[in-house]
Amino acid sequence: MGGPTEPSDGLAEASPHYLGHRERLRRRFRDTGGEAFTDAELLEILLHVVIPRVDTKPLAKDLLARFGSLSAALSAAPERLREFKGLGEVTISSLKVVQAVAQRFARDRVSRDMPILASWAALIDYCRSQMAFEDIEQFRILFLDKKNRLIADEVQQTGTVDHTPVYPREVIKRSLELSATALILVHNHPSGDPAPSAADVQMTRAIADIAKPLGIAVHDHIVIGRSGHASLRSLKLI
């Protein structure tokens, strides 16, 4: 990732006027860590690791102007990233690797041998990293054992920009196959608004009604949006 500028990026080698600024950013990062950095600064540092002989500050600003946040930029589809002068195939692949690493890190935080409900913040971080910036709806299920430890995390269905077909009996069938005793349902709203719809509530209650006599609890249904998340349990809708 730290090799020479890829030819496909189409950027001429910049003059070294930015080198002092870059070194100051690196020094600040060493001294304070990433929490003290804006999205623009973190993205700039990441880009100059991938394309080190180019001033990456303008490109970072352009990406954030288009996508709104660092997470959204990393989650953008490759075809949208290709619209930016300076992002060739190698650079785009490198950004998608960073996204995959971030997702794996978030997943590992909820996959340890501990009750998943013990770290609600880590669970929400994981769900957001996986789903918040998807362009179509995705319905996933976290299957838990009797100690609320994660058995499996599976995407059950994908749909359109505003609908995903969910079949309660298929959810229960898979739960029985995995010997799960509890479920957390999760889906995203590509519109960005995490407010649950009437259909979301109806579907959740249908799954819970079938699951309860079989000894399977539905702990929650979490709706993920770009602007945040909603818990049907916290909203007292289940």
The answer on 131 and 222 residing in a single domain is yes
Q: Count the domains in the chain.
A: 2
- Give the residue from 49, 71, 102 where a domain finishes: 102
Q: Which candidate, 127, 133, 131, places its Cα nearest to that of 81? A: 133
Domain end marker among 54, 72, 102:
102
How high is the pLDDT of residue 49?
A: 85
Same domain flag for 177 and 206: yes
* 74 and 169 part of one domain: no
Residue 148, Ramachandran bin (φ over 0: left; ψ between -120 and 50: alpha; else beta) = left
Q: Which domain holds residue 138?
A: 113-231
Tell whether 217 and 120 lie within a shared domain: yes
81 plus 118 within the same structural domain = no
Q: Do 223 and 164 share a domain, yes or no? A: yes
The per-residue pLDDT for range 131-155, each reduced to its tens digit, is 888 888 999 999 999 999 889 999 9
Q: Do 126 and 220 lie in a common domain?
A: yes
User: Ramachandran region of residue 28, left (φ > 0), alpha (ψ -120 to 50) or beta?
Assistant: alpha
Q: What is the pLDDT of residue 184?
A: 96
CA distance 184 to 66: 33
pTM exceeds 0.75 for this model: no
pLDDT at residue number 2: 45
Along the 238 residues of the chain, how does pLDDT read in single tens digits? 444 444 445 444 444 566 666 777 778 888 787 788 889 989 998 898 888 878 889 999 999 999 988 888 998 889 999 999 889 999 999 999 999 998 888 777 776 666 777 778 888 988 988 888 888 899 999 999 999 988 999 998 876 555 667 889 999 999 999 999 999 999 999 988 899 999 999 999 999 999 999 999 999 999 999 889 999 999 999 8
Alpha carbon distance 140, 231 (integer Å): 15
> Do 210 and 167 contact (CB within 8 A), yes or no?
no
